[in-house]
């Protein structure tokens, strides 16, 4: 065996060029497979994480009937000690309480059904972060007139601004995307433009009795900061809920449907309004990662902490079963494209092996005719292929690592409509690679299998070898 190994090794170095080329084919196979998969997982993962972290939470503690009947009647008591205990569970990053329900909003003669979301302003910063969505800039007719009259900014630029008349923005980057100025124009004029379209805004303090209201709703009810909004509805166990609330700030929500009807208030205020003292409808929990192991671990620990047997911790998958199935469907499409890549790289490897065998026909013929057993020759070739494969694999994994690292920290920026949409949601408009994970090794395994498959060809060829013809080639 050891002799075989020596022979194989020497064979490889005898014709360095051939060795390099063959192992290079394996190298490239691994390299591309890893990078492609990393991109697929990275982008998809990022989208899921964005959704989970800004909306659903990895886990939620709810009354077990709440999911089917999202009403305040299925709320539960969440003591401070419970919240603290849950925050202390391993892998829990942050915890945020919520109350979600409906009410009727009224101002002047206008009445409209609205969604009420109660939050803890501090804790919510790590979740949906509504502060991010506060309207900071608004392009009104007034601001345009003033811009034209009081600044020296050229008209083409101001015309572009005017195209977005009536829009509100919570982020500069989104505004810039809509505006479409060149980088030099941006640098030169943006600071001034921003000054003129800036609007004052406010957030909620932790015990605030006021509310935040979404832009379109504020337009409909014709209210702005400082005005009051009246909310009416049905509270806990059918009690009547009614209250008057000052508007503290205006938000722009990315989804137009939500933007039409969102009211945000603090939890104590909502508890008073719905006559549900001490109760909340859900407690969202963010974890360090969404791997199955970490999620079920945290879920179990949290369930143990819940003394109220009506409450239960559910994962985001349990809370969004339709989304999960859509993701599964999408991911399979991704697998299909990956499959195509595998086909291609397999041919790369196979082609190289094919040529290698063709080139060495004479050599094999000589070896067999001078007495080497075909079995032994096969063994040697297997070892050669294994070594070539190993070299290519390791080199491929090593080479792909810096690429993954780079695009993880400096991902590709997304422009166009999707860039805008992601900015609206407060997400980074990027397409990143995935961090190292099982997929990394899986690609290596698959390529190793390909090498194995490709090896079958030379073995067969050797088996069918007719020495005389081989010598003559």
- Which positions from 213 through 242 interact with another protein, judged by CB under 8 A? 216, 219-220, 230, 232-234, 237-240, 242
The whole-angstrom separation of Cα 359 and Cα 87 is 66
Residue 303: count of CB within 10 angstroms of its CB: 14
Q: Cα 204 to chain center, whole Å? A: 29
Looking at the Cβ atoms of 28 and 66, the one nearer to another protein is 28
* 5-13, 81-89, 117-125, 320-328 -> range binding another protein (CB under 8 A): 320-328
Of residues 43-62, those binding another protein (CB under 8 A):
43
Q: Which two tokens stand for residue 291?
A: 């791997």
CB of 288 to another protein, least distance (A): 26
Contact call for residues 119 and 263 (beta carbons, < 8 A)? no
Sign of CA dihedral 350, 352, 355, 361: negative
Q: Can residue 468 be called a binding residue for another protein (CB under 8 A)?
A: no
Contact call for residues 227 and 102 (beta carbons, < 8 A)? no
Residue 248: count of CB within 10 angstroms of its CB: 21
CB of 217 to another protein, least distance (A): 9
Looking at the Cβ atoms of 67 and 91, the one nearer to another protein is 67
Q: Can residue 326 be called a binding residue for another protein (CB under 8 A)?
A: yes
Looking at the Cβ atoms of 182 and 332, the one nearer to another protein is 332
CB of 70 to another protein, least distance (A): 13
Residue of 457, 453, 444 lying closest to 29 (CA atoms): 444
Of residues 380-419, those binding another protein (CB under 8 A):
412, 414, 416-419
Interface map 253-282 toward another protein (x if CB under 8 A)? -------x--------------x-------
Looking at the Cβ atoms of 121 and 365, the one nearer to another protein is 365
Q: Can residue 180 be called a binding residue for another protein (CB under 8 A)?
A: no
Q: Which two tokens stand for residue 133?
A: 């969505």
CB of 21 to another protein, least distance (A): 5
The whole-angstrom separation of Cα 3 and Cα 1 is 5
CB of 354 to another protein, least distance (A): 5
Q: Under 8 Å CB-to-CB from 179, ≥6 apart: which residues? A: 160, 161, 164, 186
Q: Can residue 162 be called a binding residue for another protein (CB under 8 A)?
A: no
Looking at the Cβ atoms of 124 and 259, the one nearer to another protein is 259
CB of 460 to another protein, least distance (A): 14
Q: Which two tokens stand for residue 112?
A: 């409209």
CB of 271 to another protein, least distance (A): 14
The whole-angstrom separation of Cα 391 and Cα 351 is 18
- For another protein, which residue of 1, 16, 183, 329 counts as binding (CB under 8 A)? 329
The whole-angstrom separation of Cα 187 and Cα 220 is 36
Interface map 426-455 toward another protein (x if CB under 8 A)? -----x------------------------
The whole-angstrom separation of Cα 424 and Cα 196 is 22
The whole-angstrom separation of Cα 175 and Cα 14 is 63
Angle at which helices 155-163 and 141-150 cross, to 10°: 170
Interface map 79-118 toward another protein (x if CB under 8 A)? -------------------------x-x---xxxx-----
Interface map 286-315 toward another protein (x if CB under 8 A)? ------------------------------
The whole-angstrom separation of Cα 313 and Cα 282 is 10
Size of the site for another protein (CB under 8 A): 72
Of residues 15-34, those binding another protein (CB under 8 A):
17-18, 21-22, 24-25, 28-29, 32
- For another protein, which residue of 145, 205, 288, 325 counts as binding (CB under 8 A)? 325
Looking at the Cβ atoms of 77 and 431, the one nearer to another protein is 431
Q: Which two tokens stand for residue 368?
A: 């067999």
CA angle 268, 111, 228 (to 5 degrees): 50
Structure-token match 């964005």, residue found: 50
Of residues 333-362, those binding another protein (CB under 8 A):
333, 336-337, 340-341, 343-345, 347-348, 351-352, 354-356, 358-359, 362
CB of 216 to another protein, least distance (A): 6
CB of 347 to another protein, least distance (A): 5
Neighbouring-strand partners of residue 412: 431
Burial 151-161 (b: 16+ CB within 10 A, else e): eebeeebbeeb
The whole-angstrom separation of Cα 84 and Cα 95 is 9
CB of 258 to another protein, least distance (A): 12
């Amino acid at each position: 065996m050891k002799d075989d190994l020596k022979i194989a090794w020497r064979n490889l170095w005898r014709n360095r060029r051939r060795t390099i080329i063959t192992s290079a084919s394996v190298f490239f196979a691994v390299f591309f497979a890893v990078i492609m998969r990393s991109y697929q997982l990275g982008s998809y993962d990022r989208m899921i994480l964005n959704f989970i972290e800004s909306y659903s939470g990895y886990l939620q503690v709810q009354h077990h009937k709440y999911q089917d009947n999202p009403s305040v009647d299925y709320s539960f008591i969440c003591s401070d000690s419970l919240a603290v205990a849950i925050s202390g569970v391993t892998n829990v990053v942050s915890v945020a309480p919520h109350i979600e329900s409906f009410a009727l909003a009224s101002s002047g003669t206008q009445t409209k059904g609205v969604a009420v979301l109660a939050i803890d302003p501090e804790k919510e910063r790590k979740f949906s972060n509504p502060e991010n969505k506060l309207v900071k800039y608004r392009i009104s007719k007034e601001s345009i007139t003033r811009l034209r009259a009081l600044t020296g900014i050229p008209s083409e630029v101001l015309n572009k601004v005017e195209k977005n008349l009536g829009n509100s923005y919570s982020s500069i980057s989104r505004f810039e995307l809509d505006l479409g100025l060149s980088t030099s124009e941006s640098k030169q004029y943006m600071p001034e433009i921003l000054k003129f379209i800036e609007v004052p805004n406010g957030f909620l303090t932790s015990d605030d009795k006021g509310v935040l209201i979404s832009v379109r709703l504020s337009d409909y009810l014709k209210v702005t900061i400082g005005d009051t909004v009246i909310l009416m509805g049905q509270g806990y166990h059918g009690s009547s809920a009614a209250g008057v609330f000052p508007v503290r700030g205006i938000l722009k929500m990315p989804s137009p449907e939500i933007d039409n009807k969102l009211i945000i208030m603090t939890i104590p205020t909502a508890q008073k309004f719905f006559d549900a003292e001490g109760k909340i409808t859900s407690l969202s929990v963010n974890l360090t990662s969404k791997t199955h192991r970490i999620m079920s671990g945290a879920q179990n620990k949290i369930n143990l902490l819940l003394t109220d047997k009506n409450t239960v911790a559910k994962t985001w998958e349990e809370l969004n079963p339709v989304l999960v199935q859509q993701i599964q469907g999408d991911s399979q499409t991704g697998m299909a494209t990956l499959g195509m890549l595998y086909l291609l790289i397999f041919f790369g490897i196979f082609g190289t092996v094919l040529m290698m065998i063709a080139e060495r026909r004479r050599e094999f013929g000589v070896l067999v005719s001078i007495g080497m057993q075909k079995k032994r020759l096969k063994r040697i070739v297997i070892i050669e292929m294994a070594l070539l494969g190993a070299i290519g694999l390791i080199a491929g994994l090593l080479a792909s690592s810096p690429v993954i690292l780079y695009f993880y920290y400096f991902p590709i920026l997304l422009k166009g409509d999707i860039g805008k949409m992601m900015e609206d949601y407060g997400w980074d408009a990027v397409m990143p690679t995935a961090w190292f994970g099982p997929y990394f090794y899986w690609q290596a395994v698959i390529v190793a299998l390909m090498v194995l498959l490709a090896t079958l060809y030379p073995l067969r060829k050797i088996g069918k070898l007719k020495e005389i013809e081989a010598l003559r080639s």
